[in-house]
Chain A
Amino acid sequence: MTQRWRNPNGGWIDRSQPLHFTFNGVRHGGYAGDTLASALLANGVRIVGRSFKYHRPRGILALGAEEPNALVQLSVGAETEPNTKATQVELREGLVAASQNCWPSVRFDLGAMTGLFSRLLPAGFYYKTFMWPPRGWLAYEPFIRRMAGMGTCATEPDPDRYEHTHAHCDVLVIGSGPAGLAAARSAGQTGARVLLVDEGIRLGGSLLYERTLIDSAPSRDWIAGVEAELAAMPEVMVLRRATAFGYYDHNQVAVLERVNDHRARRSGDVRQRIWHVQANEVILATGAHERFLVFGNNDLPGVMLASAARGYLNAFAVRPGREAVMLANNDAAYEVARDLAEGGVSVRALLDVRPNPAGAAIDQLASTGIAVMPGASVTHAHGRSAVTGVTVAEIDNVGRPRGRSRDIACDLVCVSGGWSPAVHLHAQARGRPRYDPAIGGFVPGDSVQAERSVGAARGTFALEACIAEGANAGAEAARKAGFDVIARGANPIEAVASTPPLTIWSIGALPGTRYKRFVDFQNDVTDADIALAVREGYRSVEHVKRYTTLGMGTEQGKTSNTGGFAHVAAALEVDIASVGTTTFRPPYVPIALGALAGAEGGRHFMPNRRTAMHDEHLACGAVMLQSGPWLRPQCYPHASESLDDAARREAQAVRSSLGIVDVSTLGKFEVIGPDAVAFLERIYVNRIQTLKVGRCRYGVMLREDGIVFDDGTVTRLADEHYFVTTTTAQASLLARRLEYCHEVLWPELDLQLVNVTEQWAAIALAGPRSYDVLAGVVESGSVDNEALPYMGHTQVVIGGVASRIFRISFSGERAYELYVPAAYGASLWRRVLEAGKDFGITPYGIDSLNTLRIEKGHVAGGELDGRVTIDDLGLARMVKTDGDFIGRRGSMRPGLQDPARWQLVGVAPADGKAAVPPGAKIIAESVPGHYLGEVTSTTWSPMLQMPIALALVSAGRSRHGQTLVATSPLAKRDVSVVVRSPLFFDPEGARLHG
């Protein structure tokens, strides 16, 4: 496992833990602490992938989340993740990765032929080409899609575990570079609760990649000292491998912690954890991203950001090349040149675009023998699949080459075009970054939320100033959060003589040369594309972004956006400050969907609600159905019985002898007080005042716009005590709505309203034998026709438990609903089932419940779809004639009086046999395509021995006897149906009393 490019000493890697990984099928070696990118470079792997559109070879440009080129397909099988930046993958034993977007291999990719057609493929080409013939697009598109684009998605469910957690703190510090560490320490010293997060494996930020001295000692000593201080503070928590990716309202920040991405996972391990952090004050020490420069072929493997070259050398002991040429516009690059030279890389030349660089940074390079060329630049790089050399020339102060050019052979070009503060989180927090021409980047503007930026994130690059800013901000944030700060004297900061950077957005091309000059690498956006977009009339930077796809890659333009905006400004001939930036949105880095879902996936996407009798249903052999959040028995099939047969048998059993069904899911409310009846009068269409104690009434509630909201029952238990039931589906919504009426609309009414949906279990006992069984289980109290008439109520004792009995019927048979406190539900079910054995008692589920109510024309969810009025349902006689109630005025609006409105009817097949398709539309035979209505509920009727359905049909009540057509394009069936009354069976209701 030779790592020819690895230096024997130095770096933060752990040479005592060698690791092995596979890239494109080839096995390589690395060490614990490597990223995949550093390990690839150590092994001399320069070409990592192919670019999005032109399939140009690409290598490693940067160190971290700002990497645009080194995208790999990580892992295989269910764990595979496309478009993963090799710079952000922590190396682990057995890691497998592969190049994307190339065939047959990354070194020889047939896709590179698109480069031959690049003149036909500028930004937005798909809006102009492949347009004719129109149907041809169906042939072109799959081919284009295969040619472009990146990795492949996993096709199996994510096997990993994720979780979410919450944290509260007084001061959240994002970033542990010099500014962040200083801030965390000074905030922690006040005793404030401090949370410090850093995306890296270890604390230190940019210090990890440099060889700086702090207080005359290596920076690693300073980092270790601060870490030890923080560890000794009980109110300070430090999270490593944790990326703050979203800044939300009211100082809520989301952080992704990569808990086990760097280890082989055992079953049950959490892979990643999202922290929802609620912070009183936030300090953004997020650093800055180095920019590259735009010159010909600036995308070749071997062209790297200067800070990245330095980082690979200092942090990973990897020489990124053998012979380097440096191209810079600022002083920091000189330290990079020194580090490279001392690390074993030969620096052939340092080209500084500034004509007269001077100062300490320049002086300290003088003794190294590295040739410095002021006022010069690379005009283009050479090489087919990697850099083999560059052409350089002198330039003027806007980047135009002049004079003669010459070539320099090299395999590494280190580019430093300035630094852009990482203002993303500040902008997400509604800050508005503003352009600072001194650094050529956008710096934070005024803060809207309780946050402030320090260090490079603010445009401060001098180390001592960063530490001082961080310390001050930490103390200030803790003070604002209510903690006392001990004033310390500020250390004087010595000014260091330096030359300001010279921002040049584009190095001019030598006359006669036509090399591609990239402004955004990941999406293959060249400077010509931006000029094209502006020529075609795009003015707003947001439009140019979307037309050219500048900054739309997975790194969201971290190294390229500022240059892109500058190119737009130049093309529009305006100041970059007036062009502004595109909008920053979370997440700051790509987040796995599994991490966002946390534990709430699969079965846990929605809470599962079970009734008190759940286990009893299973014991009776129920097939359970997810009905909203509730698990309800669909039916109780006997061995080898189909679900349809079971439902029919159950319905027949209810009509012929006796059935028992769990109706605990109904919404239930106690309404108690002197004004209870007044309250109920205002919410129901019915008259409630006339309801006597011990009687029930079917009630309908409307919305304010006159549409039916819900139906249910209201029972008067005592003088000022009413019991309301509602449909299962609307129970939660009704709870809110009734509370609204009580607390907001009519707070002057004297009543108590309690939602007791879950406090009562309920069983319906239905069928001709229902009285016999009920009488058998009741221990005290009478349930005969006199004590408990139809639509009556009484309280009895069953099995030692006080039970409310309501004689109401959804099925149309003689029926009783038995309510007990939920804890007794299961034992009540067992008791009644046992008592009913000799009477042929049959448990029935929601399929047969549905069949029975359709036979009786009772409406349910299918009919109450939010569009029907009470008159549409044929229940207008229920509406009281005087007294206000919710929806009264709304029902009177002209639109609801239209005689052509869809009304509730029954429909039966004309041939008496064909099943009416669910959801079918009703049309007249002679006018296909014009809907007259639709089928809302369907079933097979045991009493009529044929399929039946309920439907809403235009002017339906005047169409009884007409033959129409129920058509279902989905089922591809048309059925002739006869319109009739929805009361299919026992229309007089005789069986209710029988």
Chain B
Amino acid sequence: MLIPCPHCGNRPHAEFTYGGDATLGPRPDGMAAYTVWMEFVYLRDNPCGPHREYWHHTLGCESWIVVERDTLTHRISGSSLPGTQETT
């Protein structure tokens, strides 16, 4: 599978480390309700279809990137840096 790193271009997925769901929203405040925290730490959707997720370009630029990947077909529709909305 090729992952398009915004810095480095298309690179094989063996250069990357998977980093989990990127749709969780901001980290809850320290005194947020207990259930909010437990959902943030443990609960994940498991969609069959388009998914936004983090990957770390471990054997490349070592940046964290956000990738849009279809979990069924592995088709990757774009990537971006965290905190930015543009996808390449």
Contacts and interface: CB of A to CB of B under 8 A. Distances in A.
Contact of A889 (B30, B58, B82): B30
Contacts, number: 56
Interface in B13-41: 17, 19, 27-30, 32, 34, 37-38, 40-41
B82 A893 contact: no
B74 interface: yes
Contacts of B29: 884
A744 interface: yes
B83 interface: yes
A837 B64 CA distance: 49
A747 B62 contact: no
Given A249-B1, A250-B2, A744 B58 contact: no
Nearest to A892: B34
Contacts of B27: 745
A221 interface: no
Interface string B26-67: 011110101001101110000000000010101000111000
B37 A890 contact: yes
B85 interface: no
Interface string A861-895: 00000000000000000000000100011101100
A704 interface: yes
A278 B63 contact: no
Interface in A494-535: none
Given A249-B1, A250-B1, A889-B30, A705 B41 contact: yes
Nearest to B62: A739
A740 interface: yes
Contacts of B1: 248-250, 252
Contacts of A739: 56, 62-64
B7 to A, nearest CB: 12
A735 B64 CA distance: 12
Contact of B64 (A248, A448, A744): A744
Contacts of B42: 705
Of residues B29, B30, B58, which shows the largest number of chain A Cβ atoms within 10 Å of its Cβ?
B30
Nearest to B3: A250
B2 to A, nearest CB: 5
A743 B82 contact: yes
A704 B41 contact: yes
A736 interface: yes
Nearest to A278: B2
A430 B73 contact: yes
A705 B43 CA distance: 12
Nearest to A742: B64
B85 to A, nearest CB: 14
Given A889-B37, A890-B37, A740 B2 contact: no
A736 B59 CA distance: 11
Interface in A697-720: 704-705
Contacts of B40: 704
Interface string A243-264: 0000011101000000000000
A758 to B, nearest CB: 13
Interface in B62-88: 62-64, 73-74, 76, 81-83
B33 to A, nearest CB: 10
Contacts of B56: 736, 739-740
A743 B37 contact: no
B72 to A, nearest CB: 9
A448 B73 contact: yes
B65 to A, nearest CB: 9
B34 A893 contact: yes
Nearest to B82: A744
Contact of A893 (B32, B38, B54): B38
Interface in A724-780: 735-736, 739-740, 743-745, 747, 755
Q: Interface size for chain A: under 10, 10 to 19, 20 to 34, or 35 or more residues?
A: 20 to 34
> How many interface residues does chain B have, given as a range?
20 to 34
Nearest to A744: B82
B56 to A, nearest CB: 5
Contacts of A889: 28, 30, 32, 34, 37
Contact of B19 (A705, A740, A755): A740
Contacts of B41: 704-705, 890
A249 B75 CA distance: 8
Given A250-B74, A448-B73, A744-B82, A736 B2 contact: no
B73 to A, nearest CB: 7
Contacts of A278: 2
A194 to B, nearest CB: 20
A537 to B, nearest CB: 30
A448 B70 CA distance: 13
Contacts of A705: 41-42
Nearest to B2: A250
A747 B82 contact: yes
B73 A884 contact: no
A736 B37 contact: no
B30 A888 contact: yes
A550 B58 CA distance: 44
Nearest to B81: A743
Contacts of B73: 430, 448
Given A250-B2, A736-B17, A744 B54 contact: yes
A884 B30 contact: yes
Contacts of A248: 1
Contacts of B28: 889
Nearest to B63: A743
Contacts of A740: 19, 54, 56, 64
A886 B74 CA distance: 32
A669 to B, nearest CB: 12
Contacts of B62: 735, 739, 755
A908 B13 CA distance: 49
Nearest to A703: B41
A895 to B, nearest CB: 11
A851 B41 CA distance: 37
A889 to B, nearest CB: 5
Contact of A747 (B32, B74, B83): B83
Nearest to B17: A736
B30 to A, nearest CB: 3
Contact of A743 (B2, B17, B64, B76): B64
B49 to A, nearest CB: 15
Nearest to A755: B62
Nearest to A885: B30
A681 B81 CA distance: 25
A892 B37 CA distance: 11
Given A888-B30, A889-B30, 7 more contacts: A430-B73, A448-B73, A705-B42, A739-B63, A740-B64, A744-B64, A747-B82
21 contacts: A250-B1, A250-B2, A430-B73, A704-B40, A704-B41, A705-B41, A736-B17, A736-B56, A736-B58, A739-B62, A739-B63, A739-B64, A740-B64, A743-B63, A743-B82, A744-B64, A744-B83, A747-B83, A884-B29, A890-B37, A890-B41
Interface of B: 1-2, 17, 19, 27-30, 32, 34, 37-38, 40-42, 54, 56, 58, 62-64, 73-74, 76, 81-83
